[in-house]
Structure 1
Amino acid sequence: MSTLDFAPMTDPQIFAEADRFVASLIPEPLAPETSTQTWAGMTEMGWPLCLLPEEAGGLGADLATVAAIVEGAARHAPAAPLVAGCAVVPWLLSAAPADLREAATAGIADNSWRIAYSRPVFSAALRGGETVVTPFGHDAPTHVLLALEAPAELVLVDLSAAGVSHSVSRSLDGRCSLQLSLSGEALAQGRRLAEGDAAARLIAAAEDLGAGLTALEIVSLAGVALKRTAEYLGEREQFGAKLASFQVLRQRFAAVYADYLNARALCFTLFNQNLLENAEAAPQRQVALAYLLAVRQAHQIAQQVIQFHGGIGVTEELGVSRLNRRLLAAAYDFGSADDAVEQLIAAA
């Protein structure tokens, strides 16, 4: 198992820097009292500002940089909105009116604005009192960027505004899960980033961007989970022999690893041939296929890793449990496997 390949799919230098930085923020096992510092530390590094233009106070970086950050940081399963906070929200904000973009950039820079992204919801349902549930990091958000359909709108809502009610709970992977409801008046008072066809195009592209980056995040998580599992099998002994010497375990691991390589190759192709060139022009079919394969891999690898480790795999002692929880939670961040199948059918 020493020949297994878990090399980064993105820029090796940025990947390594992100990997080291998040490792310095997150002890293992994760200490609750330090987890609130994770997003603040990422903000100090400027990660949520990467895709915002320099004239608005951002860093003006490209998507390849963000992809490398996501892949490197994901290896430590931080309770942070890597994809939504570092890619989807700033990418959408870059298309906002200048005054709103500059205000948001300043707020993000000093961590006074923590903007969660809420995936598409029908306007009528929201106005009718439907509750929106969306994850963020370990710290609760201060604003929510709503993607509305029928009619299409992108609306930034301040959670402290009148007519907005919300509560926060913890999701499987330790992130905040925000339950939001708001009055029609509160929705009308929200700041519009875009409306109509322009909003519809931005929302569709943001969903593809989020799904593509989440697939990359899942594959990165899966890689480190498998790497640690290989190390565990090579060290743990049973009946006087290393677990890695048992043929049935070697065969099972080889099958899971082969599936992981397939998902990894598809993500690599998706980014290098499509998303990195133009996020708005990425073929939905390929994005949906990469996301579907990654989501299925997340469930399979999480299950197999626990079985390889046995009972110790569900404890925090080895850190694998936290990786598995993040794997399972990430598999729903931009829709389920069924949603990906529906997108594949629609794009056929």
Structure 2
Amino acid sequence: MDFELTDEQKMIAESVDKLLSDQYDFQSRCKRLSSNERFDLSIWQQFARLGLLGMPLPTAYGGFSASISDLSVLMEPMGSSLVVEPFLYCTLGSWLLSQTASKAIQKRYFSSIVSGETRVVVAMRPICSTAFMPSHQEVTAIRDKSNRWRLSGACHMVYGSDAATHVIVFARCGKRDMAFMLPLSACQRKSFSLVDDTGVCHISLNNVLCDADHELKCNRYTQDRVMAAAVTLLSSEAVSIMRVLNQKSKDYLQQRKQFGQPLSSFQVLQHRLVEMYVQEELARSLSLALVLSMEDVKQMRQYMPQVSMTKLKINDYSQFVGEQAVQLHGGMGVSDEMDIAHYFRRLTCIRHQFGDQAYHVAKLSAMFKRGL
């Protein structure tokens, strides 16, 4: 197995890292969020100029036909800079469209996705076990006499949809699984922010009309493939945040003095840092293994047990690193003025996105019962 980045991956990662280092520092981010601005159009346009927004799309439309491995490389600088723009969620949307879009959608939207004008996110069916989620109303599709589809139902916790222009909705028509691309202007949505300052919406569909050429190629495994891709990219982001927390914790213990000597000189704290580093490296290994497994999109369904097991373990590792980083920083570790708190909150949300612990345990149990 080759764990080395290609020259193209290194170049893209360095370009993104430089952009975010120059223009997405923690103070600027906090200033924007204090004025309730979660989406910075100028940053989004710079993402477009770097060619990031259409990476999964075909080269004929200005994309790069990027693989999951290419996309995971981008999530590391996005995670370490705590980007609140819906880059991950729009990337999942364009990734899904690259495999399922009709010719009409390709011609009409792909170029505008690459330029950043069109932002497409995916509305997944409920994948969280918490009892605090609103009751889910499955989206149903009915074809009318004019050969158009009418969609009704609700989608909850649609990540990134507060800044999106379009949404991909999974629906049922009898026993058939379907998916459609809809303009969000045709939907009712209620926006709010999560504890990590990213935006989500509850979306309601009430007899929304959809042209037949906006139907995507879909089967009962399509949503599993999206889940696998999402968990893979989230894992890369989580590992990058764990790396930042470990480095910041080490620096803090070296600078902070107690009893006339740096805190880093105390053996018990040295051991704690080592434990945090071990958790990071375990998470990195699992993340890399999942990235390599996801390279074959057609066989992705075979790796769903690995997806769930990776999510479960990285959830555990990231929780440990996040909690210990806060503990080592003391009370300051949970203050808004410290970036440690923001990294911790992002890790907390990652643990619940695209399936929390209980969800993936139940999913694994079901897969084992039916023999995977």
Interval containing the TM-score (normalised by the shorter chain):
0.7 to 0.9
Match of 2:215 among 186, 192, 202: 192
Change in Cα spacing, 1:107 to 1:280, as seen in structure 2 (3 Å) is farther
Aligned partners of 2:76, 2:329: CA distance in 1, in Å?
25
Aligned to 2:183: 158
Q: Which moved more, 1:214-223 or 1:9-18?
A: 9-18
1:263 aligns with 2:261: no
Count residues with an aligned counterpart: 334
> Where does residue 158 of structure 2 map in the other structure?
134
CA apart distance, 1:189: 7.7
Residues 73 and 236 of structure 2 are in contact (CA less than 8 Å); yes or no, is this contact kept in structure 1? no
Report whether the alignment pairs 1:40 with 2:45.
Answer: yes
Matched, 1:168 2:187: no
Q: Is the 8 A contact 2:71 2:233 kept in 1?
A: no
- Structure 2 equivalent of residue 204 of structure 1: 224
The 2-side partners of 1:82 and 1:185 are apart by: 27
Aligned to 1:339, the other structure's residue is in SS state helix
Normalised by the length of structure 1, the TM-score is 0.86
- Which sits farther off after the overlay, 60-69 or 179-188? 179-188
Contact 2:257 2:263 in 1 (8 A): yes
Query: Is 1:297–2:317 an aligned residue pair?
Result: yes
Aligned residue for 1:152, secondary structure, equals strand
Return 32-41 or 317-326, whichever deviates more: 32-41
1:213 alignment partner, SS class:
helix
Instruction: Quote the Cα distance in structure 1 between the aligned partners of 2:239 and 2:329.
Output: 20
Structure 1 match to 2:259: 239
Counterparts of 2:205 and 2:214 in 1: how far apart (Å)?
14
State the shift of 1:35 in Å: 5.5
Cα 1:191–1:200 change in 2 (3 A) is same
Relative to structure 1, the CA distance from residue 255 to residue 121 in structure 2 (aligned partners, 3 Å threshold; closer, same or farther) is closer
Letter paired with 1:276: E
CA distance in 2, matches of 1:346, 1:318: 42
State the match for 2:94 in structure 1: 90
Tell me the C-alpha RMSD between the 2 structures.
Answer: 2.7
> Residue 224 of structure 2 contacts residue 304 of structure 2 at CA under 8 Å; is this kept in 1?
no
Does the residue aligned with 2:118 lie in a helix, a strand or coil? Answer: coil
Any conservation in 2 of the 1:270–1:287 contact (CA below 8 Å)? yes
User: Is 1:125 paired with 2:138?
Assistant: yes
Q: Which residue of 2 aligns with 1:100?
A: 105
Structure 2 unmatched runs, 5+: 128-135, 141-151
Whole-angstrom distance in 1 between the partners of 2:114 and 2:198: 21
Letter in 2 for 1:210: A
| Partner residue, 2:85 | 80
CA contact 2:51–2:114 (8 Å) conserved in 1: yes
Residue 106 (structure 2) pairs with residue 111 (structure 1)? no
Asked if the contact 2:234/2:350 (under 8 Å) is kept, the reply is: yes
Look up the SS of the partner of 2:53 in the other structure: helix
Which residue in 2 is equivalent to 1:3? none
Q: Which amino acid aligns with 2:21?
A: A
Output one character per residue of 1:84-122: Cα deviation in whole Å (capped at 9) or x when no partner. 222x21121112101102322233233332222111259
Corresponding residue SS for 2:251: helix
CA contact (8 A) 1:209 1:279 kept: no
> What's the CA shift for 1:13?
4.3
The farther-off stretch of 146-155 and 227-236 is 146-155
Q: Distance in 1 between matches of 2:356 and 2:307?
A: 13
Match of 2:295 among 253, 276, 281: 276
Alignment partner of 1:331 is 2:329 = no
Matched, 1:61 2:66: yes
Q: Secondary structure at the match of 1:117?
A: strand
Counting only pairs closer than 5 Å after superposition, residues 21-32 of structure 1 correspond to structure 2 as 21-29=19-27, 30-32=29-31
In 2, Cα distance between equivalents of 1:342 and 1:102: 41
Partner of 1:71: 76
Secondary structure of the structure 2 residue equivalent to 1:340: helix
| Aligned: 1:288 with 2:308 | yes
Residues 282-340 of structure 1: CA deviation (Å, up to 9, x unaligned): 51111111111112222222211111101211234442122112111122221111122
For 1:61 and 1:212, how far apart are their aligned partners in 2? 14
Residues 9 and 269 (structure 1), Cα distance of their counterparts in 2 relative to 1, 3 Å cut: farther
Q: Deviations over 1:166-223 (max 9, x none)?
A: 12111111111111111134468892112xxx43232221111111111121111111
Deviations 1:62-82 (A, max 9, x none): 332211111232111110233
String of CA shifts for 1:25-68, please: whole Å, max 9, x gaps: 31223244386323333233221200100223423233322111
